[in-house]
Each structure stands twice: as structure tokens, then as C-alpha cells.
Amino acid sequence: MPILQIISIIIALAISILVLLRNTGDRNRWFLLFFNAVISVWVLSYIFADVHGDYELFWNRMVFAGGLLIVYGGYLLVASMANRLNALAVSVGVLLVAWTAAILFTPVVVGNVEPRFTNSGILQGFDVARGWAYPLYAASLLLSGLSVVGFVFYLRRKSRGRFKAQLGIILTGFIAMLAIGFTTGIILPLLENNSEPANFTFISVFAVMAAFTYSIVQQRLFDIRLAIARSLGYFLALAVITIFYVVGIFALADVVFKNQADIGLRVYYIIAALFVALTFGPLRRFFSRVTRKVFFRDSYDTETVIGNLTTSLVGNVDLTILTQTASGILQDAMKVEFLHILTIRDDDGFKELFTGLRHIDMSLMVTDELTSRHKRLAEKLDEANVALVSRLQTHQEVVGYLVCGPKVRGDALTSQDVELVRVASGELAVAVQNALRFDEISHFNEKLKQEVEEATAQLRDSNRKLKKLDEAKDEFISMASHQLRTPLTSVKGYISMVMEGDAGRLTGPQQRLLQEAFTAAQRMVYLIGDFLNVSRLQTGRFTLELKRSDLAQVVNDEVAQLATTAARRNITIAYHHPVQFPMLTLDENKIRQVIMNFIDNAIFYSRPSSTVEVTLINTGHEIRFEVRDSGIGVPVSEQHKLFTKFFRAENARRVRPDGTGIGLFMAKKVITAHGGSMIFHSKEGQGSTFGFVLPLAALKHQTQKLH
């Protein structure tokens, strides 16, 4: 029995020292060492109390005093774990020290001890002579024990998660210790008037030692399972060698060699030593594997898990596949009930927790370790059965959370689990952010595609409407032009008759006025002709009315007709009629409009007292017509748009606001239809040159088509 007791206190002290060495700054670990030290002293007192000598009275009194100290040590440890140490604990400690001193050094509880011998004179034990304060001692022991049990029970109700499970185990241990200890140490000795039942009181402390040991090992009270597993592996290997090898080797030597000191015995011991040396390593590894399986049934290699996780994340931009694959890898490794990777846009049962989590500085939160400052959040996590939450955060933003449930077997999460989640969260944060960005781009592309399709449909619809409006406009222009041409023709005819004297002799001023009216009417006819041609271009009815024409005479007529307008603006038109010029096949009316447009523009955009030069030459292979002025010119930035429909340069709009912008457009269409090309040179503020080139080969071809 003493051997078992000594082994028990050695194990208890070894565990306490291992716990303390992992973190000497944690006061809970010091209180655990104090608690186990008190138990060890009490067990040693219990052993020495049965040894006959000069100190049996002291050791028996130590047994009684140690019972109170064990209860107080347990209270200090639990109170420290729950952060409930206060002035009350100190006051109780002072009273307890005074009371245990009275028990140790006065006869008030243990008056004396009397040895008890068998009939053969062998010491059987000691009978304790109780003092007058023994009932007070029993009452104080019972009251303090019940107080600690009630305190632990209260803490357990107020706690949650892993700490609640730990307190449940510790509570069971304290109840068992109180029940066994009080029954064997107080009640049975009083009923039987015999100290013999007290020999089993030591079992009571084993109950609370077992409870704390189980909490430490299985419920991660101080998370030293790896150290215990390794130590136990060595211990078992040494025990097997000590018990089986040594005993077996010496027993076999005694049988075979019968204690004869000869060479054979020496060789036998050498071989035995070699056998022990060679088998110790495999034996230790065997027990290490066994103990790891016992203490780490759900163990895994962190590097392997992280490697598998990294492989699954590389190149994966599908958010759903990424989160499902990563969750599966981590959940399989940690053996937890559930593990979810939630992005900030997820809408699920954990969404309401995100608001509370954003205001907490910790990036990783174990529910059981949240302090009272985060009590409300801890309660919410408990309600959702969440054991651990890790924030998925990059340098720029929080992209989501990793939410982990409790272990499938009911064990607490280990430090290995917590570290795995911490490392994995960093990689997951980057992967989730990339997936979210890719998802946003994909959705944006789809949305953009949809918007483009909708805009295209709207544009097509608008284009159809515009085409209808354009057709209506062309029909209106065509109709209006035809309707305007008839009265203008009449106006021109009557003005011409008056000018020729059909209505009587005209004075000079009357002649000039009528000439102005005739020129304006002619210009209006040309303008209507341009509108009609534009309308015909739009509707595909634009054709050339070819006939043999004297282009030199056409130019001469237009110069003569515009001479009055030029003179009124103090501008000279210089035109040298070619002596010989061939007859050409062309659309005379349309070419006449082009020539009139070029000369008219030159007159209006030239400065007063300047000259407009009109040139018509036959080079032998082409006809060149040019109108050169020294007027306002065309800005370089606007020259590329000059021959487009309805375009007018900015400086031209200032000088002549009533222009239409279709003269040059139609001029290019007419010349191009004749197979020719435009001539245009201009410098802003220095003047412009407009004209055209008609290749004689193209004109001959038109002549052939005419015939």
C-alpha cells in the first residue's frame, strides 16, 4: 500500500512540475503545484503515521491538519482558475493556518496516540485519543468541504464550454473526496470506536487527484498531454525492463548457473546486457506509439495538413469549391463536428455573430477562453455550438471567418488544433480574397454583358426610329423642295422678263435691284437643288443627267451672275476664259451648282478689296477647275470634317451664320459621281483653294454610256 501511495504522489508532483515548466508566469500552475504538494505531504504523513517512533503523534496530527489544507488548496486552485481570488480567500487562509497550528501543536483535536499490537506483538497501527475540539474539527472539515463543493458547483453553472466540462470533472472529484474521506476518516471510526477504517482515507485524495489529472490530460486544462505521453512511454519502457528483463535475467541466471561465478555466467550477463541495450529502443518506441494512441487518438501532422490545404488552394478561384475543399481538409484533420469558412457576404446562421466579432481585437477566439468582457459574445457562440472562430483578414480587409465546432468525441480543442487554424487562416484569407475578386469580376462581366446587350437593343430600337425619322425628313425635304422650286422658277421667269423690258423701260437702279433679286432666286434654286440631291442620296435615287456641255461657258455664266454680288462686297473676280476648250459629257446643272458654290463661298469669306481667282484649264489628260481666295481659311483641326454633311467651320459660322453646310458635301458627291476628285488647300487667316479634277478618260467613258 505505501508503494502505491508513493507512486501516486510522484505522478502528481511530476504532472505539476511539467505544467509549471510550460509557463512559469501562470499563477494557476503554481496553485496546482501547491495543491499537489499539500496532498503529497498529507500522503507522506499518512505513511509515517503508522511508523513506530518518536514522531508518530506529530505525523498523526499532520494527517488531521492536512485534510483541511487539501480542501483549502483545492479551493485556491479553482478560485484562481475562475479569477475569483479575493480578500475572502486570504481571510480564510489566515484562519485556517491558525486552526491547523492549533491541531498540530496542541492536544485539542488529537490528544495522544496509542500503538496497537497483534497477539504476536507485531505493530498493527495506532489508536487516536480525540481531544475536546474533535467535533469542532469534524464540523470545520465538513463545512469547508461542502463550501468548496458548493463553490465549484456555482462556478460550473456560470461557466461554459471546456471550462464547464473541466469543473464538472473536478466537482465529481471533490464530492468523491469529501464522501470517502469523511466516511472513512470521521464517521466509521466514531461508529466502530476504532481507527482501522481511517487506513483507507488516503483513497479520498486519489479521487480528486484523478479528477485534476483527467482534466489536465483529456480536457486540456493545461495542455501537457504530449509531455505526459512521452514521459509515460519512457516510464513504461523502464518499468518493463526493470520488472521483466532484470527479474527474468537474474532468475534465469540463478536457475542455469546456480550462483556459480564462472566464465559462462559472465558471458551470459554480457549477452543479457546487449539484449537489453538492443531492445530498449524498439520497446520505448512501442510504448510511445501506444501512449500517443491513448492520449492523441485524433492526432495529425500539421505540416501535412497545411500542405494538402495549400495544394487545394493553388489555382482555385471558384469560391464555393475552395471553401468546401478547405473545410473538408481541416475538419477531417481536427475531427470536429463542423467547420465552415464564411465570407463577409454569406447569409446564414452565423451572420448575426459577425457584428460582434468585428469589434474584438483578437483575430482568433476560442469560445472557452473568452473573458467576462466578451460574455455576451461567448454566450452567442455557445448557443451556436461554436468552439473556435478565426478572422480571415488580409492587409487590406476582413474577408470572412473560419467557424469551428467542438470535437466529435467531446474532447477539448488542443493547442495543435488552435495553431493549425491560426496558420490556415492566413492562407485562406488570401485565397478567399482572390476568389471574391474573381467572383466580382465575373459578376461584373456578366452584368456588363447584360447592360451592353440592353444598351445595344435600345440603340437598335433608337436607330430604327431614327431611320424612320430620317426617311420622313427626306420625304419632307424632297416634297418641300419640289414645292418651292415651282414658285421660284416663276419668280425667276418674271424677273427675267422685266429685266428684258417686257414690262417697259427700266432705269439703272431698277435694273440693278432686279439683278440682285434674280441672283438671290438663282441661289435659292441651287440650294433647293442641293437639298433635293441630298434627299436622293439618302434614298438611293441620286443619278447624273449627262449631256454635252461647254464647261468654259458654264463657268463664265456663273462668274457673270455672281459679279454683282462680288462688286457689292468690293471683291474682284478674275476669270480668264480659255480660248479653246472641248465639249464635255457631264451633268451640267449639278456641275453648275458646284462651281457656283465654290465662287459664292470665296466671295463671302474673302476680305474686302481682295481678288477671287477662278481658273479652268485642260492639261490634255484632265480638266482642272480652281477657285482661290485670300479669305479666312479653314482651321487645321477642322479640315478633316469639311466635306461632311451639315458641317461648317467655327470661323465660317461667325462670318456667315445663315449657311447650311451641305454645299461642299454635295460638291464632293457630284465630282466623285463624275469620276473626279476634289482640290482643297487652306491656311487659316491666309485663304483657301477649292476645286476639282475631272479625268478626260472618265468623261469619255460617260460619253460612251450616253451614246
pLDDT of residue 226 exceeding 50, the answer is: no
In a domain, 471, yes or no: no
Arithmetic mean of pLDDT, 483-492? 74
Q: What span, in angstroms and rounded, lies between the C-alpha atoms of 344 and 354?
A: 8
The CATH number linked to 429 is: 3.30.450.40
pLDDT of residue 242 exceeding 70, the answer is: no
Residues 265 and 309 in one domain: no
Residues 248 and 356 in one domain: no
More confident residue, 694 or 387: 694
Percent of the chain with pLDDT over 70: 72
Q: Concatenate the DSSP letters of all residues of 170-239 into one string.
A: HHHHHHHHHHHHHIIIIIHHHHHT-SGGGGGTHHHHHHHHHHHHHHHHTS-SS--HHHHHHHHHHHHHHH
Over its C-alpha atoms, the chain yields an Rg (Å, rounded) of 58
User: What pLDDT was estimated at residue 79?
Assistant: 86
When divided into structural domains, the chain yields a total of: 4
Q: What span, in angstroms and rounded, lies between the C-alpha atoms of 204 and 182?
A: 9
In a domain, 476, yes or no: no
Give the confidence band of 564 by pLDDT, cuts at 50, 70, 90: confident
pLDDT of residue 429 exceeding 70, the answer is: yes
Arithmetic mean of pLDDT, 320-343? 88
Q: What span, in angstroms and rounded, lies between the C-alpha atoms of 346 and 252?
A: 73
In a domain, 523, yes or no: no
Lowest mean pLDDT, pick from 86-90, 205-209, 441-445, 589-593: 205-209
Residues 245 and 169 in one domain: no
Smallest CA-to-CA distance from 591 within 547, 561, 551 is with 551
Residues 243 and 324 in one domain: no
pLDDT of residue 506 exceeding 80, the answer is: yes
Arithmetic mean of pLDDT, 20-25? 70
Q: Would you state the cell numbers that stand for residue 679, as one nine-digit string?
A: 482640290
Question: Each residue of 567-597: pLDDT tens digit?
Answer: 888 999 999 888 889 899 899 988 988 998 8
Give the confidence band of 48 by pLDDT, cuts at 50, 70, 90: confident
User: What pLDDT was estimated at residue 696?
Assistant: 87
Last residue of a domain, one of 295, 327, 344: 295
Question: Each residue of 447-468: pLDDT tens digit?
Answer: 888 888 888 888 888 888 888 8
Residues 203 and 252 in one domain: no
Distance of CA 216 to the CA centre of its chain: 38
Last residue of a domain, one of 414, 443, 472: 443
Q: What span, in angstroms and rounded, lies between the C-alpha atoms of 212 and 13?
A: 12
Last residue of a domain, one of 410, 443, 476: 443
pLDDT of residue 535 exceeding 70, the answer is: no
Lowest mean pLDDT, pick from 26-30, 128-132, 255-259, 517-521: 255-259
Residues 162 and 187 in one domain: yes
Percent of the chain with pLDDT over 90: 11
In a domain, 206, yes or no: yes
Smallest CA-to-CA distance from 558 within 533, 525, 581, 586 is with 525
Residues 243 and 187 in one domain: no
Smallest CA-to-CA distance from 320 within 444, 406, 438 is with 438
Smallest CA-to-CA distance from 77 within 12, 142, 140 is with 12
Model-level pTM greater than 0.85?
A: no
Residues 620 and 696 in one domain: yes
In a domain, 164, yes or no: yes
In the sheet that 398-404 helps form, which strands lie side by side, from edge to edge?
339-343, 398-404, 388-393, 364-366
Lowest mean pLDDT, pick from 39-48, 266-275, 452-461, 517-526: 266-275
Q: Could you list the residue range(s) of the whole structural domain that residue 402 is in? A: 302-443
Arithmetic mean of pLDDT, 123-146? 82
User: What pLDDT was estimated at residue 681?
Assistant: 93
Q: What span, in angstroms and rounded, lies between the C-alpha atoms of 674 and 697?
A: 11
Q: Would you state the cell numbers that stand for residue 237, as one nine-digit string?
A: 519502457
Arithmetic mean of pLDDT, 481-498? 75
More confident residue, 75 or 29: 75
Most confident of 15-19, 49-53, 111-115, 160-164: 111-115
User: What pLDDT was estimated at residue 169?
Assistant: 82
Q: What span, in angstroms and rounded, lies between the C-alpha atoms of 597 and 691?
A: 10
The pLDDT mean for the chain works out to 78
> How distant, in Å, are the alpha carbons of 192, 193, 194 from that of 138?
16, 15, 16
In a domain, 74, yes or no: yes
pLDDT of residue 219 exceeding 50, the answer is: no
More confident residue, 491 or 701: 491
Most confident of 35-44, 515-524, 586-595: 586-595
Question: Each residue of 249-295: pLDDT tens digit?
Answer: 666 666 666 655 566 666 666 776 677 667 767 766 776 666 555 55
pLDDT of residue 149 exceeding 60, the answer is: yes
In a domain, 525, yes or no: no
Residues 192 and 323 in one domain: no
pLDDT of residue 443 exceeding 60, the answer is: yes
Residues 47 and 168 in one domain: yes
User: What pLDDT was estimated at residue 510?
Assistant: 86
More confident residue, 54 or 29: 29
The CATH number linked to 135 is: 1.20.1070.10
The CATH number linked to 594 is: 3.30.565.10
Q: What phi and psi, each to the nearest 5 degrees, are found at residue 295?
A: -85, -25
pLDDT of residue 3 exceeding 80, the answer is: no
User: What pLDDT was estimated at residue 602?
Assistant: 92
Residues 595 and 685 in one domain: yes
Can you tell me whether residue 62 is helix, strand or coil?
A: helix
Q: What span, in angstroms and rounded, lies between the C-alpha atoms of 466 and 471?
A: 8
Residues 561 and 429 in one domain: no
